[in-house]
Amino acid sequence: MGEYTQQQGYLEPTDKSSVAMFKRQLKGQVVMLNLLRFQDVADYRNFPALKPQEPISGAAAYKKYMAHAGPILNRHGGELVFVGDGGHFYIGPSDEHWDLAMLVKYPSQQVFIDFTSDPEYLAGIGHRSAALADSRLLPLSPKMP
């Protein structure tokens, strides 16, 4: 699993973050908050089979990822709940910004695991990797007030 570097950003879970999520043993629905920052030009060096003939932006590569992953997400019972343009925080670090924010709902933590380990899904994950300069994924568990 990926590790963070200043040059690369957070792109993949670490072994430690994966264990921490599984230890939470989230019950019921899981909503994944995604904060995404795109590369200016998508970097397909690790995924040459997916590389378009002409260079594309990170945002365009992420659209390819969404087109690939969306039907698989739906088949697993997941749902894209919200997609919106990002920007700078109202409250938070003034030097940090995100290009896109998303909320993705899964019926359970197991469905999330099944989706992200589906071989068909993994065949197109290179578009996501090529697209992103940095990201944050926060699993949220519904809580009654």
| Cβ-Cβ contacts under 8 Å for 21 (sequence gap 6 or more) | 13, 109, 139
Tens-digit pLDDT profile for the chain (145 aa)?
444 344 468 999 999 998 998 898 889 999 999 999 999 999 999 999 999 999 999 999 999 999 999 999 999 999 999 999 999 999 999 999 999 999 999 999 999 999 999 999 999 999 999 999 999 999 999 887 7
Handedness of CA 134, 137, 127, 55 (dihedral sign): negative
Handedness of CA 94, 96, 70, 12 (dihedral sign): negative
What integer pLDDT is reported at residue 4 of this predicted model? Answer: 39
Residue whose tokens read 């879970």? 13
Q: Which residues pair with 102 in a beta bridge?
A: 34, 83
> pTM value?
0.90
What integer pLDDT is reported at residue 8 of this predicted model? Answer: 66
| Cβ-Cβ contacts under 8 Å for 69 (sequence gap 6 or more) | 121, 124, 125, 128
The span from the CA of 40 to the CA of 34, in Å, is 19
The kind and range of the H/E element at 69 are: helix 58-75
